[in-house]
Chain A
């Protein structure tokens, strides 16, 4: 059975950890849209959620940094951040679907790491808090290294998404796909707080126009320069575009929220 829902969403920790620091209208608009997107996800009655996600030193370090890693655990605990103001919880996994995705990758020209034990940090837990608030739908995390160079190219991330999409279309389960991260931000850097609105809008325009050749043309240096160290997370959005192919992107919200130090975007994809 098919992919029944797909969206891409930012995961700035300020959304929950220091919500009230943002101008009220901006915060209400964005978080209201986030919750409504969660209602759309629920209405699609998915059997499982696959998150195209990243992490922030929650599981991996420089002794061994996987480029792509697929979680195969029975469950995932999180969030690791005590200060996120999201209650600790346990998210059910779907090892069977994980195995199917891993096989799909190995047969399709990708050799991801797999892991039977992963913690979720805000990158995965925060979107689930809004999109799967009761943690009722099992989750399979697919982690892309956007944390530390060298990272997979945009082109390779798109191709990875294509393979995942193929594997999911061959699954008997109804699957919701969530890409998480971006847009421009410089977390913990000297430029912390900067948001490159023109970059964000251009990226969204490429996504909405289905210009896949533009998405795959982004280089590491360009993203680093224009969207910051946190902007590398747009690779998850690019992978999602690869997974859903001809689906049309729909802009749900874009807010450059300075107190959250992030260009915050929400995009749904519709068949």
Chain B
């Protein structure tokens, strides 16, 4: 479990255009540059909003990250409310 690393990755992608480009070019390779568990990597690569929120990712890191993936307000809210 490395919530810090998950949040660091999201922070970098949200705020740093160069890293965002790297993530968009090859997300699988990009996530390997952070110290993540397989579950954490999968949650990021699958944009599993519910899983990321449940592991404690800050909402103001998570929502901007999902906006970069064009996730609508409605779909974001729905994802958080799913069991």
Interface of A toward B, CB cutoff 8 Å: 56-58, 61-63, 80, 83, 147-148, 186-190, 192-193, 229
Contacts and interface: CB of A to CB of B under 8 A. Distances in A.
Given A57-B15, A192-B77, A62 B60 contact: no
Contacts of A62: 4, 7-8
B69 interface: no
B81 A147 contact: no
A185 to B, nearest CB: 11
Contact of A190 (B11, B67, B80): B80
Interface residues of B, number: 19
A259 B81 CA distance: 19
Contacts of B15: 57-58, 80
Main secondary structure of the interface of B (DSSP, over half): helix
16 contacts: A57-B11, A57-B15, A61-B11, A62-B4, A80-B15, A83-B67, A147-B60, A148-B58, A186-B59, A187-B60, A187-B63, A188-B59, A188-B63, A189-B59, A190-B80, A193-B77
B8 to A, nearest CB: 7
Main secondary structure of the interface of A (DSSP, over half): loop
Interface in B1-41: 4, 7-8, 11, 14-15
B43 interface: no
B71 to A, nearest CB: 11
Given A61-B7, A189-B59, A190-B81, 20 more contacts: A56-B60, A57-B11, A57-B58, A57-B60, A57-B64, A62-B7, A80-B15, A83-B67, A147-B58, A147-B60, A148-B58, A187-B63, A188-B59, A188-B60, A188-B62, A189-B80, A190-B53, A192-B59, A192-B77, A229-B59
A114 B13 CA distance: 26
Nearest to A63: B8
B66 to A, nearest CB: 9
Interface centre among A187, A190, A229 (most CB of B within 10 A): A190
A83 B70 CA distance: 12
B11 A187 contact: no
A192 B77 CA distance: 8
